[in-house]
Structure 1
Amino acid sequence: MASAPFSPTYDDRRGRLEAYFDRTASKTWERLTSDAPVSGIRATVRAGRNRMRDVLLSWLPINMTGLRLLDAGCGTGALAIEAAQRGAEVVAIDVAASLVHVARDRAPPGLNIDWRVGDMLDADLGWFDHVVAMDSLIHYQAFDIVEVLRNLSDHTDGSLLFTFAPSTKPLALMHAVGKLFPRADRAPAIEPVREQLLRFLIANAMPAARTGRGERVASGFYTSHALEVLPG
C-alpha cells in the first residue's frame, strides 16, 4: 500500500506525468535516451542526463553485491541496468508503463532487476540499502519532495540520492519560453526549488537525517541538482 504525501498536488502531478509519458512523449523519450540522432536542444538534455546519471552512480558503491537498490522513477532504465551490473538487486519502478516497457527490452539478460509500473512510495516494495530518484521529483513542489523523501527513508538503510530543479534565472527563463508552446506539446511543469529551502525542510521533516554531497549539472536546456540524504 502506498504512503501518500499530505499535499493533494502530489497525486495530481503524478497523474499528469503518467499521462504525458504514456500518451504524448513515450517515443520522444525512447529516442532521447538512445544513441539515435536528436536535435541540438535535445542533445544538450541527453548530455546533461548522462552526466547526472554518472554523478549519482559515482555516489554508490562500485561493488553492490548483496545490496538492494530502488530506482524510483526508472524511466528507460539506464541507471537500474548499471546498478545491476555492479551486482545490486534492483527494483526499478516508474508511473509510465511505456517507459518501463522500453527499459525491460533494453536490459541485458541475466540481471537482477524487478521492473515495475507503479508508485515509488509503495511500502510493499520492501527495504533498500540505497534509493535513487533521478529527475523523477523535479515536477513536484518542495514540500512534496521532502514528504516523498521522508516516506522513502522509512524503508532505506543507506543513502537517498535525488535530484531537483534548482531555482535559477536561466531555468526560469526557459520555463517561460516553454509556456509559449501549444498546450498539447507541453511537458508537465518543472518546479524550481531553492536549495537552501530544501535543506531546511529536510532538516525539519527528518531531524535524524543529514544532507551530504551535492552537485549541479547544467547542459544547455538541462539543469538539475543532485543531493544526498543520509537517514538517521
Structure 2
Amino acid sequence: MPKDSTSEIGTVAAETRSYADTRARVEDYFDRTATRVWERLTSDAPVSRIRETVRRGRDDMRSKMLSALPADLTGLRILDAGCGAGPTTIEMAQRGAEVVAVDISPSLVEIAQKRLPKALQNRVTFASGDMLSAHLGRFDHVIAMDSLIYYTGTDIRAALENLGARTSGSIVFTVAPRTPLLMGMWYAGKAFPRSDRSPTMIPHAPAKLRKTVADIGALRDLGRVNSGFYISQALEFRA
C-alpha cells in the first residue's frame, strides 16, 4: 500500500476517535450529570440569575435559527440534531414539519417526549443516539443548536459533510465564537480540569470554519447571541 494511503487512513481513524471520544464525554455529562439542570433550565421554573441569562440566550438563539428556515414547514422532514428537552422540536412541528428529534441523552429524549403536545405526536419521531447516524435517513433541513460546540473544526467539517450528503436544504448550527472571554475560559479549563465539569466548548472563528468547509459547501454567518453567560454563533451550511 502506498505511504500516502496509509497516512490518509491513519488520519481518518484519528478523526473518528476524536469525534467518538468527545461524543462519549458529552453523553456522560448530559445523561448522568446535567439532566435535572437542563430539565429546569428549559422549563418555566425559577432559576438563578446566571442561568436566567442562559435561558434568555437560548430562547433568542432558537428564534434566530428557526427564522433561517421557511415560515411554512408543512411536509418538510427536519432533523433536530441534539433536541435536548425538545423546545425546537415543538416549534418546528407546530409549523408543520415532520421532525426527527434525536439526542445523545436518553434521559433528555424522555423529557422531550413527555413535553410534546398530544396534537403534535404524529409529526415527531424521537430517537436517542448519534445525531450523525445514517439510519435517521434524509432531510430537507437540519438544525443543530449547541450540539457541535464541543467539537474540533475537523470534526465539525466531517459532521457537515455527513449530514450534507443527506440534506437537500440548509444545515443551521451553532458554534462557540472565538471571543476573549470564551478563549480565557477554554484555556482555564485545559489548565484546571475537573471530573464533574461539563465538556469543554471549543471556540471557532466563522472565517476559519468557512475555509475548513469550502471544498464541501458554503457557510453563511447568521449572527451571534450574547446574553450574560450564554454566547453562541449561528451559522448556515449548504452542501
TM-score normalised per structure 2: 0.89
* Separation of aligned partners in 1, 2:172 and 2:85: 18
1:223 aligned onto 2:234: no
Identify the residue that residue 41 of structure 1 maps to in structure 2.
50
Identity of aligned residues (%): 54
* Separation of aligned partners in 2, 1:78 and 1:71: 10
Q: Which one of 148, 154, 167 corresponds to residue 137 of structure 1?
A: 148
Unaligned ranges ≥5, structure 2: 1-12
* Separation of aligned partners in 2, 1:201 and 1:39: 38
Identify the residue that residue 9 of structure 1 maps to in structure 2.
18
**Change in 2 beyond 3 A, CA 1:194/1:31:** same
**Change in 2 beyond 3 A, CA 1:64/1:5:** farther
Q: Which one of 177, 189, 206 corresponds to residue 195 of structure 1?
A: 206
Larger Rg over CA atoms: 2
Q: Which one of 155, 158, 183 corresponds to residue 172 of structure 1?
A: 183
1:89 aligned onto 2:73: no
* Separation of aligned partners in 1, 2:205 and 2:221: 16
Residues matched between the structures, number: 225
Identify the residue that residue 104 of structure 1 maps to in structure 2.
113
CA contact (8 A) 1:165 1:193 kept: yes
CA contact (8 A) 2:186 2:202 kept: no
Identify the residue that residue 152 of structure 1 maps to in structure 2.
163
Q: 1:15-45 deviations in whole A, cap 9, x for unaligned?
A: 0111111111100010011111111111111
2:178 maps to amino acid: S
Paired residue secondary structure (1:165): strand
Identify the residue that residue 114 of structure 1 maps to in structure 2.
125
Unaligned ranges ≥5, structure 1: none
Runs of 4+ that moved beyond 6 A: 179-182
Q: CA deviation at 1:5?
A: 8.7
